[in-house]
Amino acid sequence: MIRRCVVVGGAGAVGRLFAERLLAGGARVAVADTVAPGAEPAGTHYVRGDITSLGARLEADLGHADLVVLAVPDAVALAAVPGLAAVLRPDALLVDTLSVKQPVTAAVRAHAPDVQAVGLNPMFAPDLGFEGRPVAAVVVNDGPQVAGLLDLVGTWGARVVPMDAAEHDRLAGVSQALTHAAVLGFGLALTRLGPDLARIREIAPPPHQARLALLARISSGAPAVYRDVQAANPEAPAVRKELAEGVRAFVDLVEHGSEAEFATVLGRLRDDMGEHAPHYRGLCARMFTSL
C-alpha cells in the first residue's frame, strides 16, 4: 500500500499531476525540487534539494518512501539512479516519467536490480488530466508494488498500455518526435514565408487552423520537454530523416510527377492506414466541425 511518496520534480507540470492524484488518494506526499517553495501542490510537504546530490533531509525522505516518482529531465534521472539505489527501501517502488525508456531502464537494472521499478509515460499534456488518456507502462523490475501502481493509475481514468522499453522508444519516436518535428518545421517555414497571420486567420481552412493550433500549443510549452523528445530518443534522428525524405519526395512528385502518379500516392497512403482510416476520418470530421 502506498502511504508515503516522494515526487521528485513535483513543482513541474508532470510532477504536480502525479503528486495531486497521490495526495487525493490519501498518501503523504513530499515534493522534492530545486526551485523555491511555493510551486508545489497544496497539502504536500516540500523539500528543496538536488536529487543528483542528496542532502540529509532529502535522503531521509527517500529512505522512508513507499513510492518515489522521478518527474525530471532524462539526464537528471540518469544521474540520480546510482544514489537512489543506495537509499531506497528494499520494498520501495521507483517510477520514472521519462519520455525515453531504454537508457533509464538499463540504468535501474544495473544499479538497482532488486528495487521494484516501472517507467510511465503519460502520452498527453499534464493539463488534460488522466481521464480517458493513454499512459505507456514499461515494467523495469517487476513486483507486487508495480501491479498495484498500474491498477491505481487505471482508477485515475487512464488507459495503461504495457510495452517494453525498445517498443516504447520506437512508438514515441513516431507518435511524438515525428509529430513535433513536423509541426515545428511547419512553424519555421511559416516564419520564413512571413504571411500576415491576421489575414490568414480570416481565410484559413480547417487543416491550416488545426496546424496553427498545434504550433501555438507546442511553442507555448516547456522547451526542455520538447527537446528531450527529440534529443534523448535514440529513434528520433532516423524519424526526422524520414520526415525530410518525405517532404523531398512530395516536392518531386508535385514538380515532376503526373496527376495519375499523385493519385496513386494518395491511394497508397490511404491504404497504408488500413482499417484505422475510417476512425481517423471520423475524428478529423469532428475536429473540423469544432473549427
Asked if residue 282 has pLDDT above 90, the reply is yes
Reduced to 3 states, what is the DSSP secondary structure of residue 97? coil
Rounded to an integer, what distance in angstroms lies between the CA atom of residue 113 and that of residue 107? 9
* Residue pLDDT, tens place only, 53-110: 999 999 999 999 999 999 999 999 999 999 999 999 989 999 999 999 999 999 999 9
Chain mean pLDDT for the chain = 95
- 49 and 142 share a domain? yes
| Positive or negative torsion for Cα 159, 165, 166, 171 | positive
Q: Which of 136, 163, 190 is the last residue of a domain?
A: 163
261 in any annotated domain: no
- 100 and 16 share a domain? yes
- Residue 48's identity, in one-letter code, is R
156 band by pLDDT with thresholds 50, 70 and 90: very high
- 127 and 35 share a domain? yes
* Residue pLDDT, tens place only, 243-275: 999 999 999 999 999 999 999 999 999 999 999
Cell of 278: 475510417
Identify the pLDDT of residue 30. Answer: 95
217 in any annotated domain: yes
DSSP label at residue 177: I
- 30 and 111 share a domain? yes
CA distances from 198 to 185, 193, 201, 212, 250 (A): 21, 14, 5, 12, 29
- 152 and 14 share a domain? yes
- 132 and 200 share a domain? no
- 86 and 156 share a domain? yes
pTM: 0.90
Rounded to an integer, what distance in angstroms lies between the CA atom of residue 263 and that of residue 35? 55
- 111 and 178 share a domain? no
Q: Give mean pLDDT, residues 146-150.
A: 97
- 8 and 84 share a domain? yes
Identify the pLDDT of residue 40. Answer: 87
Helix %, strand %, coil % of the chain (to 5): 60, 15, 25
CATH number at residue 80: 3.40.50.720
- 142 and 226 share a domain? no
Identify the pLDDT of residue 69. Answer: 98
234 in any annotated domain: yes
Asked if residue 291 has pLDDT above 90, the reply is no
278 in any annotated domain: no
* Residue pLDDT, tens place only, 12-56: 999 999 999 999 999 999 999 998 888 888 999 999 999 999 999
How many domains are there within the chain?
2
277 in any annotated domain: no
- Percent of the chain with pLDDT strictly greater than 90: 91
- Residue 105's identity, in one-letter code, is T
- 99 and 150 share a domain? yes
Q: Domain residues for 221?
A: 167-256
- Percent of the chain with pLDDT strictly greater than 70: 100
Asked if residue 225 has pLDDT above 90, the reply is no
274 in any annotated domain: no
- Residue 147's identity, in one-letter code, is A
- 25 and 153 share a domain? yes
Asked if residue 150 has pLDDT above 80, the reply is yes
Sheet with 159-162, side-by-side order of all strands: 45-48, 28-33, 4-8, 67-70, 93-96, 116-122, 134-141, 159-162
Burial string for 121-153 (b: 16+ CB within 10 Å, else e) reads: bbbebbeebbeeeebbbbbbbeeebbebbbebb
82 in any annotated domain: yes
269 in any annotated domain: no
